[in-house]
Amino acid sequence: MSLPIRATSAAFASLAIALVTSLLLLVAAAPAFAKQGKPAQPLYWGGVIGKQLTGEAPPWDLNALTKFEQLAGKGASLLAFSSPFADCSAKPCAYFPFPTQAMEALRERGTIPLLSWASQSVPAPLNLKQPRFQLRDVANGVHDEYIEGFAEQVHEWGEPFFLRFDHEMNGFWFSWGEGVNGNKPGSFVRAWRHVHDIFVKAGATNATWVWCPNVDFTRKLTPLRGLYPGGRYVDWTCLDGFNWGDTPNSGGWMSFEKVYRESYNRVLKIAPRKPMMIGEVASEERGGSKAAWIRNALSVIPNHFPKIRAMIWFEENDRGMRWPIESSKAAKKAFAKAIQRPLYRPNEFQHIESSPILPPGWAPPPP
């Protein structure tokens, strides 16, 4: 049956309006689809764990790692711990060796070690003045005998691990930061490259080098570009950042997105092809819902920060802050539920061989 001309015109007009409306809706939705991009990729996960669980921190007491895994309901694929160059509480200073035994114990249980190695001595003075451990001393070879011996021990062990050297170097709170302890601009890169070159010469290529500044959403810290040693000297990039909540010296309650987004984008501009890890992250309880913060963060990381392929929770009571996941029943439950996603890989890496370490799911490059 043919329609009257007026009715047909009205029908076409309605159809045209519907098509235009649909097109506008698709255009408006395009950014949302574009943001989703590829499916979320798997991550390593783990913690830097304090003494509160057993009285001693892992890896020196692996029962503490086991306790953390029980709280989370899942085996950790990473354990982060730290070591300075030396103990100068007595004279002469005693330099710390590479912790081979602890590294091997972690590998046997399928956990990848991450060593935060710092060019400082302990005890560290509050004024950060360590004249024997300035960056120029490292770059100029003052500590070469120690670094060479350490690198030889790394080579002798031979298994892959993450080495996070002089982390948060863009800040003013560690003695290896530029602008403190007599450190001049450019001295961090020179020191990093010098230490890296010693490792390469010793054949210690089983160390995966992690360059890890602190987040800087205020842009008041040392600019990152001048601190980046270059692609030949860095295997993974990294960021540390916390939600300090409603506590002294805090900028207020902040989501993971607020804490990390700007610095994440800045690191991608410097090293767009490097995988990234979160070297330290946690949330306070005061000022909001820590449980909701955890649920959001562990969803946002794989879904909206695709370069992040490892995450380390700061499971430590530090200066009165409530960082550990067991700070409340709600926080512990939220973390345990969120970390069960298969994207967060368990301790299944006893036989990992690639150096540098690749993100989970990445195929090694062809020989």
Interval 269-325: pLDDT, tens:
999 999 999 999 999 999 999 999 999 999 999 999 999 999 999 999 998 999 999
Cα distance between residue 30 and residue 32, in whole Å:
5
Report which residue type is found at 150.
F
Q: How confident is the model at residue 28 (pLDDT cuts 50, 70, 90)?
A: very low
Fold observed for domain 44-338: TIM Barrel (3.20.20)
Q: Which backbone phi and psi does 274 adopt, to 5 degrees?
A: -90, 140
Q: Is 211 helix (H, G, I), strand (E, B) or coil?
A: strand
Summarised one tens digit per residue, pLDDT across range 325-342 is: 999 999 999 999 999 999
Q: Which backbone phi and psi does 334 adopt, to 5 degrees?
A: -65, -45
Q: How confident is the model at residue 11 (pLDDT cuts 50, 70, 90)?
A: very low
Q: What is the mean pLDDT of residues 16-37?
A: 39
| pTM metric for this prediction | 0.89
Q: Does the pLDDT at position 20 exceed 90?
A: no
The reported pLDDT for the residue numbered 365 is 59
* 263: CB partners within 8 A, 6+ apart: 213, 215, 216, 217, 224, 239, 241
- Mean of all residue pLDDT scores within the chain: 91
> How far is the CA of 25 from the CAs of 14, 16, 34, 310, in angstroms?
16, 14, 14, 36
Q: Which of 238, 310, 311, 314 is nearest to 50 (CA)?
A: 314
Domain boundaries, the chain: 44-338
